[in-house]
């Protein structure tokens, strides 16, 4: 049965010792000889035409290196999916904080005053800031219609559904922007040399995204661009695409200066200028039978992409595919669109559209339950997807998942029914009210649809001169444990001790493109490739006659040493191949959206204080099926960390906007949970396995971000009897909501 | 960031991780910058620059301070302990060991400050309750872990220390 020795065990984190001793080197810890410091001059208006740039008095401008769009050797864009986002604005600006000029100086203390001494005049243009303004199209700020991307998912027939329905349930739900708030701010160092080209070192998730962007920007061939990841202090999606911008800026300054340049943002610049989670609006209209079965429905999912397209089309894709939740829809029509506004582009953040559409789905299930007169438990039970049924994209669930059983276990460990009854009694008295809330959800692992086929990831495994094994991937570690788990997989495949496997630093000179470190794909997709590349090393040694089947670790080491000494380096490569029978239609948005889904039931217990309207989460049960758990300690850490961010998303983290600019870009006034704000978070795993993942693993990183917000807001409704459909839900929002719902003292038609 | 060119550098002496150090620094320069850039002790990190996140935490005469808020002049004559001063050669401090084993470090950026906050807590309260640990670390933000495995690491370290 279970013969694995290393996967499934909580081995020590590869880079853990350096992290607890402070020896790990992050980008701001690195200093190069002769290095300058760089700063960015940004737009102060949301939209306008640049008419004049003035370098003010009192600054020794001759000491500064100044870069504008004119200095860009290649294309003035940050090449990603499209090429619409400029590296430096030259004529018009489309959002506050858009980069216009770059400065560098040997003394970093002089940069803030120099930035402040540059004044830019604009001919101002009308700007738009909300989804509704963008849809209204009174101003077109992007393309022909302000729309970056649309999708339509259709399944089944709507004939007679609305007439047949016993209930038609409608709701509108919205979620706000959320800052990733990695504790290490963004930063890059670039150095240029005519022979070798440009090298950047930085805090980043996706070395090859930056590689591609710098090739287009500098008009350099692939071999003249080198990207090296430093230890990265948290990312959560926030270092997926924006680091390409900072790398581009550092590179331009380094090329012009002929000296290395470091750009490290301070917190306020990082929060104001870089990406956040897309704000969203979801509308549901659902036909439901008397016994609570969903007959069909329409879902309209819209996200605010900010001023440039960046990753909005793929965020929208994940959002729309998850919009129907873990339920069976006999018929459904889901329309999705990403629209432009004059805010800095919104981007990747753990969950990538799914937390937004699933918040709506799970709030809507509670609304349906109430209208039909069933409990939140029963409405879910009656509509859960069953093995053999098809999702909204017509993907048949082939694994033996039983969401009803998962729900039973979560109800049991959270003591749901007993607590619900007790709270219903207690809530009649007292200055606080308690409630229980459920969220049921799924999260697809890996790139959507044909994405993994396009990525065509490659990984390498190398047998080294000392007989050890080294894994070559561009997959990056930023807290999740990439280095640890991929080493476990290689060690397991080769039946070697974990200590005999090391990881190459992600450096595009050394490692192949194993795709971006995003989308909960690293362990499942890249891990599977590491497994097969590792086996290739053993095969090489065996076929060269140096090693026999059933080898010991010592024999492997000796054979590897001999091979390298006599026959040269051993490297084994493995490239992604789509599993057979996987079908995806990009036009109709139908088919196997993901190679695997993880499934989960989360249950929150909350107390609402009726004096301060603050909400505390008192207990949180997180039960999930994530395939095989390869490293229990890291997996639990991922789940708890994701839930903490989800609690922040629900109750604390509010981006205050004014004319497209974040007004509270400080940790003083953008509030994330501290250690004393969080409940005990109880994590439970079910392990069904997964044939597409390394040793049965599925993706895990994003899943825990999806459930907390709906579970908590459902619990708040359970406590107060008043629905809230918008997050973040701050005490003042609860106060207003309660006042509006109360027949006494209501001022705005609450009855 | 401030331009200190209006003021003059002064020689400032302080004890860092048990060694006497003399640095030439502007009196109002941040202790964090002096540690990182003058003394090469990059374990203390800048997360927010305004004393909210605690990733620059160090001990100053035994008190836990945010080194981004301490002008180096104020640190003159004091004894500073940074993360680099905790391990003895190859032997990790009991808290460093516990953080490794319990999963208390993920991305690692808050870890040096968090461990120093935990040292400070255990000095004041050798056997803290879970609530006291949560309260004691609440000035240090971590975005990765949701704190649970950090709290468990501190409890584990306290347990190990008491059993020695």
Whether the pLDDT of residue A743 is over 80: the answer is no
Pick the CATH number of A16-24+451-575 from 3.30.420.40, 1.10.150.120, 3.20.20.70, 3.30.365.10: 3.30.365.10
Confirm or reject CATH 3.10.20.70 for domain B94-163, answering yes or no: no
A747 pLDDT higher than 90: no
- Binning pLDDT at 50, 70 and 90, where does residue A751 land? very low
Chain centroid offset of residue A682 CA: 23
- The answer to whether residue A746 scores a pLDDT higher than 60 is no
How would residue A651 be classed by pLDDT, with cut points 50, 70 and 90? very high
Coil/strand/helix, residue A738 = helix
The CA-CA-CA angle for residues A658, A659, A663, to 5°, reads: 30
- Which among B52, B111, B146 has the least Cβ separation from residue A19? B111
B10-85: CATH number: 3.10.20.30
CB contact (8 A) between residue A20 and residue B150: no
Mean pLDDT for chain A overall: 96
Contact across the interface for A644 and B5, Cβ inside 8 Å: no
In this complex, do B142 and A183 lie within 8 Å of one another by their Cβ atoms?
Answer: yes
Among A627, A618, A615, A644, residue whose Cα is nearest residue A722: A615
Interface test with B, best of A27, A646, A664, A675 (most B CBs within 10 A): A675
Residue from B7, B89, B143 whose CB has the most chain A CBs within 10 Å, to mutate: B143
Confirm or reject contact between A555 and chain B (CB < 8 A): no
Q: Is A192 exposed, middle or buried (CB count within 10 Å of its CB: 0-12, 13-18, 19+)? A: buried
What is the rounded CA–CA span in Å between residue A701 and residue A518? 9
Contact criterion met (CB < 8 Å) for B109 and A642 = no
Looking at residue A449, its pLDDT comes to: 87
Testing the interface with A: which of B56, B148, B149 to mutate, by most A Cβ within 10 A?
A: B148
Closest CA of chain B from A134, distance in Å: 33
Q: Which residue of B has its CA nearest to A271?
A: B48
Task: Answer yes or no: do A668 and B50 touch at CB < 8 A.
Answer: yes
Yes or no, beta carbons of A13 and B36 under 8 Å apart? no
**What's the average model confidence in pLDDT over A224-241?**
98
ipTM passes above 0.95 = yes
Closest approach of A568 to chain B, Cα-based (Å): 36
Which pLDDT does position A63 carry in this prediction? Answer: 98
Q: Which two tokens stand for residue A108?
A: 């970093």
Q: Which of A726, A738, A443, A394 is nearest to A599 (CA)?
A: A443
Residue of B nearest to A704 (CA): B146
Q: Where are the domains of chain A?
A: 16-24+451-575, 31-125+192-236+243-257, 280-448+588-741
Average of per-residue pLDDT values in chain B? 95
Asked if B150's CB is within 8 angstroms of A675's CB, the reply is yes
pLDDT of residue A674: 98
| Cα end-to-end span (Å), chain A | 63
> A136, A146 in Cβ contact below 8 A?
no
CA distance A233 to A244: 17
Arithmetic mean of pLDDT, A625-640: 97
pTM of the predicted protein model: 0.97
Asked if omega into A728 is within 30° of 0 (cis), the reply is yes
Minimal C-alpha gap between B121 and chain A (Å): 14
The yes-or-no verdict on residue A297 having pLDDT over 80 is yes
Tokens 């920007």 belong to: A217
User: Rounded to the nearest 10 degrees, how much is the dihedral formed by the CA atoms of A524, A527, A529, A531?
Assistant: -120
pLDDT class of A2 with cuts at 50, 70, 90 = low
Is the per-residue pLDDT at A745 higher than 60? Answer: no
Architecture of domain A31-125+192-236+243-257: Alpha-Beta Complex (3.90)
User: d(Cα A582, Cα A63) in Å, to the nearest integer?
Assistant: 59
Q: Which two tokens stand for residue A142?
A: 């992007």
**How far lies A514's CA from each of A204, A238, A536, B36, in Å?**
15, 19, 17, 35
Residues of chain B with CATH 3.10.20.30: 10-85
Residue A571 CB neighbour total at 10 angstroms: 16
Nearest CA in chain B to A682: B148
pLDDT tens-digit readout, A359-415: 999 999 999 999 999 999 999 999 999 999 999 999 999 999 999 999 999 999 999
pLDDT band at B2 (very low <50, low <70, confident <90, very high): low
Nearest-CA distance from A678 to chain B in Å?
A: 8
Structure tokens at A510: 């050394």
Q: Which fold has domain A280-448+588-741?
A: Aldehyde Oxidoreductase; domain 4 (3.30.365)
User: 3-class DSSP state for residue A440?
Assistant: strand
For the stretch B77-130, pLDDT in tens is 999 999 999 998 889 999 999 999 999 999 999 999 999 999 999 999 999 999
Question: How close is the nearest chain B Cα to the Cα of A501, in Å?
Answer: 19
Interface of A with B in 58-97 (CB under 8 A): none
Enumerate the residues of chain B whose CB falls inside 8 A of the CB of residue A634: 103
Rg value, chain B, Cα: 16
Q: Do A641 and B146 touch (CB under 8 A)?
A: yes
Residue ranges, CATH 1.10.150.120, chain B: 94-163
Range list of β-strands (E), A132-291: 147-155, 167-175, 187-193, 197-202, 225-229, 261-264, 280-288
The alpha carbon of residue A368 is apart from the nearest alpha carbon of chain B, in Å, by: 32
Q: Which pLDDT belongs to residue A547?
A: 97
């Amino acid at each position: 049965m279970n013969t694995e020795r290393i996967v499934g065990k909580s081995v020590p984190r590869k880079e853990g010792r350096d992290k607890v001793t402070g020896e790990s080197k992050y980008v701001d810890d690195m200093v190069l000889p002769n290095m300058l410091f760089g700063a960015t001059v940004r737009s102060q208006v949301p939209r306008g035409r640049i008419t004049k740039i003035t370098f003010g008095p009192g600054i020794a401008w001759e000491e500064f290196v100044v870069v504008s769009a004119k200095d860009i050797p290649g294309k003035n864009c940050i090449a990603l999916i499209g090429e619409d986002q400029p590296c430096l604005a030259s004529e018009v600006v489309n959002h506050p904080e858009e980069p216009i000029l770059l400065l560098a100086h040997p003394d970093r203390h002089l940069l803030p005053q120099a930035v402040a001494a540059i004044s830019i005049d604009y001919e101002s243009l009308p700007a738009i800031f909300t989804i509704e303004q963008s849809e209204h199209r009174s101003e077109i700020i992007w393309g022909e219609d302000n729309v970056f991307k649309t999708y339509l998912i259709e399944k089944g027939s709507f004939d007679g559904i609305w007439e047949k329905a016993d209930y038609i349930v409608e709701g509108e739900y919205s979620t706000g922007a959320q800052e990733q708030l990695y504790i290490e701010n963004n930063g890059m160092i670039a150095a240029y040399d005519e022979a070798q080209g440009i090298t950047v070192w930085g805090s980043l998730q996706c070395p090859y995204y930056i590689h591609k962007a710098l090739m287009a920007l500098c008009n350099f061939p692939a071999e003249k661009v080198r990207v090296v990841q430093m230890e990265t202090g948290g990312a959560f999606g926030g270092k997926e695409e924006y680091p390409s911008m900072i790398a581009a800026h550092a590179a331009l300054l380094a090329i012009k200066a002929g000296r290395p340049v470091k750009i490290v943002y301070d917190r306020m610049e990082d929060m104001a200028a870089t990406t956040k989670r897309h704000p969203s609006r979801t509308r549901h209209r659902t036909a439901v039978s008397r016994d609570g079965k969903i007959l069909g429905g329409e879902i309209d999912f819209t996200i605010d992409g900010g001023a440039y397209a960046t990753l909005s089309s793929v965020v929208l894709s994940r959002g729309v595919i998850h919009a129907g939740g873990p339920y069976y829809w006999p018929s459904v029509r889901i329309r999705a669109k990403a629209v432009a506004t004059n805010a800095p582009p919104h981007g990747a953040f753990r969950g990538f559209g799914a937390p937004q559409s699933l918040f709506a789905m799970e709030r809507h299930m509670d609304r349906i339950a109430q209208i039909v007169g069933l409990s939140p438990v029963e409405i879910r039970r009656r509509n859960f997807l069953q093995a053999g049924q098809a999702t909204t994209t017509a993907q048949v669930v082939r694994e033996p998942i039983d969401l009803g059983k998962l729900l039973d276990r979560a109800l049991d460990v959270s003591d749901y029914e007993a607590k619900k009854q007790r709270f219903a009694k207690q809530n009649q008295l007292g200055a606080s009210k308690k409630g229980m809330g459920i969220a049921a959800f799924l999260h697809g692992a890996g790139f959507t649809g044909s994405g993994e086929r396009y990525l065509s990831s490659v990984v390498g495994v190398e047998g080294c001169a000392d007989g050890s094994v080294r894994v070559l991937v561009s997959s990056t570690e930023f807290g999740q444990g990439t280095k640890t788990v991929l080493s476990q997989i290689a060690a397991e495949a080769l039946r070697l001790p974990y200590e005999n496997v090391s990881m190459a630093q992600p450096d595009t000179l050394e490692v192949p493109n194993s795709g971006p470190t995003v989308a909960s794909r690293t362990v499942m997709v890249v891990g599977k490739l590491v497994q097969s590349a590792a086996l290739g090393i053993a095969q090489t040694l065996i076929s060269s006659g140096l090693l026999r089947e059933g080898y010991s670790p010592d024999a492997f080491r000796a054979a590897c040493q001999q091979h390298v000494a006599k026959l040269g380096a051993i490297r084994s490569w493995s490239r992604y191949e789509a599993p057979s029978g996987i079908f995806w239609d990009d036009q109709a948005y139908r088919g196997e959206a993901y190679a695997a889904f993880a499934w989960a039931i989360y249950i929150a217990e909350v107390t609402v204080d009726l004096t301060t309207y603050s909400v505390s989460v008192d207990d949180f049960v997180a039960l999930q099926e994530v395939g095989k758990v390869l490293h229990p300690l890291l997996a639990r850490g991922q789940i708890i960390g994701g839930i903490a961010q989800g609690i922040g998303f629900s109750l604390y983290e509010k981006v205050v906007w004014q004319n497209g600019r974040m007004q509270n870009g400080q940790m003083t006034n953008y509030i994330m949970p501290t250690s004393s704000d969080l409940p005990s978070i109880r994590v439970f795993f079910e392990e069904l396995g997964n044939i597409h993942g390394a040793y049965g693993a599925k993706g895990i990183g994003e899943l825990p971000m999806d459930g907390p917000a709906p579970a908590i807001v459902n619990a708040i409704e359970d406590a107060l009897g008043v629905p809230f459909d918008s997050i973040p839900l701050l005490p003042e929002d609860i106060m207003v909501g309660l006042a509006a719902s109360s027949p006494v003292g209501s001022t705005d038609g609450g009855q | 960031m401030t331009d200190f060119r209006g003021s003059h550098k002064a020689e400032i002496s302080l004890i860092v991780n048990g060694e006497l150090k003399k640095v030439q620094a502007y009196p109002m320069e941040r202790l964090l910058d002096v540690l990182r850039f003058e003394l090469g002790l990059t374990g203390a990190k800048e997360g927010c620059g305004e004393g909210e996140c605690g990733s620059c935490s160090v001990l100053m005469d035994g008190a836990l301070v945010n080194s981004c808020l301490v002008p180096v002049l104020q640190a003159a004559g004091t004894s500073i302990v940074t993360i680099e001063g905790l391990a003895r050669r190859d032997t990790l401090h009991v808290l460093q060991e516990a953080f490794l084993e319990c999963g208390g470090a993920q991305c690692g950026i808050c870890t040096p400050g968090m461990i120093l906050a935990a040292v400070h807590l255990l000095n004041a309260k050798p056997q803290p309750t879970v609530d006291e640990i949560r309260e004691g670390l609440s000035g240090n933000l971590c975005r990765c872990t949701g704190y649970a495995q950090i709290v468990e690491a501190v409890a584990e370290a306290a347990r190990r220390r008491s059993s020695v």
